[in-house]
Amino acid sequence: MRYRTFGRTGLNVSTVSMGTNRLGEAGVDPSVWPPIVERALELGVNFFDTSISYNEGRSEAILGQVISRWPGPTVIATKGGYAIDYIVSGAQPLRDFTARAILEDIDGQLTRLRRDSIDMYMLHSPSVNILETHDWATAVDILKRQAKIRWFGISTSDHASGIWSIEHGADLLQIEYDLLNPTAEDELLPLAARHNVGIMARTPLARGLLTGKFKAGEAIPADQHWRRPRGDRLQLRLERVEQLRFLERSGQTLAQAALRFVLANPAVHCVVPGARTVQQLESNAPAADAELEGEELRRIEQLHAAWRAQGRW
Ligand SMILES: NC(=O)c1ccc[n+]([C@@H]2O[C@H](COP(=O)([O-])OP(=O)(O)OC[C@H]3O[C@@H](n4cnc5c(N)ncnc54)[C@H](OP(=O)(O)O)[C@@H]3O)[C@@H](O)[C@H]2O)c1
């Protein structure tokens, strides 16, 4: 595993971190989840991304349970702004970025995570309009003063929300940046680098499409639709995955290449791939141990130029 300093936070994070939106998924034997986190720690992953809203707080709770037993240093990022039970209760509003809601939720998050302080706290994908009109900043000030959160940022809803947040002092961002959509390179990543903002890239496998396990022209089985695009957009993306298959070679899976592409950008500090099984985690983590070759990067650039010309992602 390799590590980078996470921008101005100064925190030392593994370049491959672990996204935990699958932990505690409803209808799955709960005993399958702790071993995935344990294996990540054994492989040198020290940075975990979660949210109050992942599986009604169960993701935070499983992380807290496993990580509190781990003797080494770990870094946790979590998010607020969603109702914890929004999926099961149909809570209205689903999302609430008022200071009142954030302050109400924080102690439960700390309890589930078994921490006195959250290393990185993010608003969960607010729009620029929400950022400009809600009083979330009051809560962030209070929580920083109380040392309940250390560093603040957002997981972006689009590049504009990331740019707005950097210009208004965010310490860190979780952004969308992957082999199928490099548009964060245009403005967002250069701006982040100039401000020394910590950058983690989420969904770096394009929700599993960049593992190459789905084939263009074939439908994804209904039980695996799981937050994946459908219809024309899905087919466009799968056709582009086929064009990227040259990245599969001895010692490199397509998924590892996808993670290495994101890490090749010096403004990025880590990738946040999700894992549903120990095998997926073990297969993805070694992405940290090598880089893409120059010729591979050159061919990727050519493809991105062609896709930009088509104007669709
Ligand atoms: N708005 C936000 O803040 C936001 C939104 C989305 C995600 N996130 C964060 O980003 C993390 C990653 O997102 P994500 O999990 O949706 O997308 P991802 O990392 O692009 O894809 C991960 C999914 O791909 C499949 N997979 C992973 N490794 C594989 C392998 N080696 N072989 C085959 N399949 C593999 C698994 O799903 P299957 O086994 O079901 O195919 C896994 O759940 C989340 O856990 C979360 O922490 C944040």
Tell me the pairing of strands 12-14 and 18-19.
unpaired
Any ligand 1 atom below 6 A from CB of 206: yes
The two structure tokens encoding residue 288: 């940290």
* Domain architecture of the chain: domains with CATH: 3-310 (3.20.20.100)
Q: What is the average per-residue pLDDT within 177-186?
A: 98
Residue 48, SS3?
strand
Distance 301 CA to ligand 1 centre (A): 24
Distance 138 CA to ligand 1 centre (A): 32
Distance 206 CA to ligand 1 centre (A): 7
Which residue lies with its CA nearest to atom 25 of ligand 1?
208
Distance 262 CA to ligand 1 centre (A): 15
Peptide bond into 93 cis (omega under 30): yes
Any ligand 1 atom below 6 A from CB of 49: yes
Percent of the chain with pLDDT over 90: 89
DSSP class of residue 120 equals E
Any ligand 1 atom below 6 A from CB of 273: yes
Rounded to 5 degrees, φ, ψ at 38 are: -60, -45
What is the model's pLDDT at position 221?
79
Any ligand 1 atom below 6 A from CB of 208: yes
What is the model's pLDDT at position 91?
66
C-alpha–C-alpha distance, residues 272 and 16, integer Å: 6
Q: Minimum mean pLDDT among 90-99, 127-136, 184-193, 248-257: which range?
A: 90-99
C-alpha–C-alpha distance, residues 304 and 308, integer Å: 6
Rounded to 5 degrees, φ, ψ at 277 are: -140, 165
| pTM confidence score | 0.96
Any ligand 1 atom below 6 A from CB of 174: yes
Which residue lies with its CA nearest to atom 31 of ligand 1?
280
Distance 226 CA to ligand 1 centre (A): 10
Q: Minimum mean pLDDT among 92-106, 158-172, 194-208, 264-278: which range?
A: 92-106
pLDDT single digits (tens) 211-220: 999 988 887 8
Is the model's pLDDT at 92 over the cut of 70? no
Distance 227 CA to ligand 1 centre (A): 10
C-alpha–C-alpha distance, residues 74 and 49, integer Å: 11
Is the model's pLDDT at 226 over the cut of 90? no
82 neighbors 94 (Cβ within 8 angstroms): yes
Is the model's pLDDT at 296 over the cut of 90? yes
pLDDT single digits (tens) 236-287: 999 999 999 999 999 999 999 999 999 999 999 999 999 999 999 999 999 9
What is the model's pLDDT at position 86?
72
Any ligand 1 atom below 6 A from CB of 225: no
Any ligand 1 atom below 6 A from CB of 237: no
Atom of ligand 1 nearest to the CA of 50: 47
pLDDT single digits (tens) 124-163: 999 999 999 999 999 999 999 999 999 999 999 999 999 9
Which residue lies with its CA nearest to atom 24 of ligand 1?
208
Is the model's pLDDT at 93 over the cut of 90? no
C-alpha–C-alpha distance, residues 114 and 105, integer Å: 14
Which residue lies with its CA nearest to atom 30 of ligand 1?
280
Any ligand 1 atom below 6 A from CB of 39: no
Residue 182, SS3?
coil
